[in-house]
Structure 1
Amino acid sequence: MNSDQQKQVLRQMMRKRRLENPASPDALAALIRNIFSIITPMADVKKVGCVWPLPGEADLRPLYAALTDLGHEILLPETTPKGTPLVFRRWSPDCVMLAGRFGTMHPDGVTDRPDLILVPLLAFDRRGNRLGYGGGYYDRTLSQISCRSIGFAFAWQEVARVPLGAYDQPLDWIVTEKEALEREGGEGGAE
């Protein structure tokens, strides 16, 4: 089986597991605390690229409010046409949200460039690799924007090895409700 076929099998398995493992309020709160504790010491991070949750994904919106209270700008991605990187738009708690591609939502705001991007995923491994949904949007975006990246997941989403393709981009951090894993050679802070 080639890498693309391995990814498809793993995607199907992880989507099924996600339905079987809904996040508890305690696990979600711990995930948000762990992400917050990684971001706040990063003095050079002012603009954080976040994500509006899709069904089944961790809802990090309480994190956005906490970061906004500290003076961070929150940017949310607009899902662009296939083959192009994401475009990030400024978000505020009272902004108008617009429907995007694949059931996504993005702000009706001006575009901007994040200093750090929070990246959703279906599966991860301890080497900082992630399995996304298959569109390549985050890999294209991370290859074109020089910024730090934090993948967020729950501990049950860890696998021994994520199959890799030629264009896959490793993440600087993977943060779960249980731990924060910094990729060796990544740009993140201390674990």
Structure 2
Amino acid sequence: MNGGLNSEPTTKAEWRKHTRTLYAQRLSPELRETASQTIISALREEIERRAPQSIGMYAPLGDEPEISPLLEELRERYQLFLPRVESETEIAFYPYLGVEELERTSKYQILEPTQGKEEAVAPESLELIVVPALAFDKGGYRLGRGKGYYDRYLAHTQAYRIGVSLDLAPIGRLPRGAWDLPMDLVITPERSYLGTRFHPSAFDIEDQGDRQTSIYLQIKNKYSPQIPNLDED
């Protein structure tokens, strides 16, 4: 049956179901902590290398990388902004002033800034944005939660896009529409790799029988925590 654990999903809805099933079965607090620390290390290095003035971050849900310690670390040196759900279709990013200034204001129970709407940063002002996801494919395309908030927001900003995921369900190629935008860099617990916005060949090299893969999928393999081989579960 499509979307089952032993078959390849064919739609995004099936991929979400498949991925959430794997997360429910395999994501322990210990695994999340270990994976998140590895992602934080790689993310910190990339942010320091690029040195942006303004950064869009996020307050994590339970199946997303736990980057809260990095928020506190970076806010002393950078302008940080977090998203808030504004409507059924839109999010906006507001200044991050510390965890004590966040509250769960939307039906999604995400920690969000509480400032007035006039304080939202203009999308075109962000220089870098960190985007969480259930998973990314090898081209840097995102498997989100199906609401399209980030898709709409990313269409209005030229910020450098870094995708982060615990990556319990690696995906070769996601189905996508014209509105789907790839990340510039994807960081997972086991690797970091460039997406296809500036490097289209990172996605389109075919397996010719000799297991050829794009060089863009080989960078930054030094980020490699001691995580159990989930394929053996």
Unaligned runs of 5+ in 1: none
Q: Secondary structure at the match of 2:81?
A: strand
1:31 and 2:28 aligned: no
Alpha carbons of structure 1 residues 76 and 146: separation in structure 2 relative to 1, 3 Å: same
Unaligned runs of 5+ in 2: 3-9, 200-218, 221-233
Could you say which residue in structure 1 is the equivalent of 2:157?
145
1:131 and 2:166 aligned: no
Work out the CA distance in 1 between the residues paired with 2:197 and 2:180.
17
Structure 2 letter corresponding to 1:13: H
1:65 and 2:81 aligned: no
> Runs of 4 or more off by more than 6 Å in structure 1?
none
Q: How does 1:1-191 map to 2 (within 5 A)?
A: 6-22=11-27, 23-43=31-51, 45-69=52-76, 71-84=77-90, 86-93=91-98, 95-98=100-103, 99-109=105-115, 110-113=119-122, 114-186=126-198
**Deviation of the 1:93 alpha carbon:** 1.9
Moved more, 112-121 or 89-98: 89-98
Work out the CA distance in 1 between the residues paired with 2:53 and 2:169.
29
Report the structure number with the largest CA radius of gyration: 2
Moved more, 131-140 or 112-121: 112-121
**Deviation of the 1:156 alpha carbon:** 2.7
**Deviation of the 1:136 alpha carbon:** 0.7
Structure 1 letter corresponding to 2:120: T
Q: TM-score, normalised by structure 2?
A: 0.72
Work out the CA distance in 2 between the residues paired with 1:100 and 1:175.
28
**Deviation of the 1:185 alpha carbon:** 4.6
Q: Secondary structure at the match of 2:108?
A: helix
Q: Secondary structure at the match of 2:83?
A: strand
Aligned partners of 2:130 and 2:161 also within 8 Å: yes
Alpha carbons of structure 1 residues 149 and 78: separation in structure 2 relative to 1, 3 Å: same
Aligned partners of 1:123 and 1:159 also within 8 Å: yes
Percent identity over the alignment is: 26
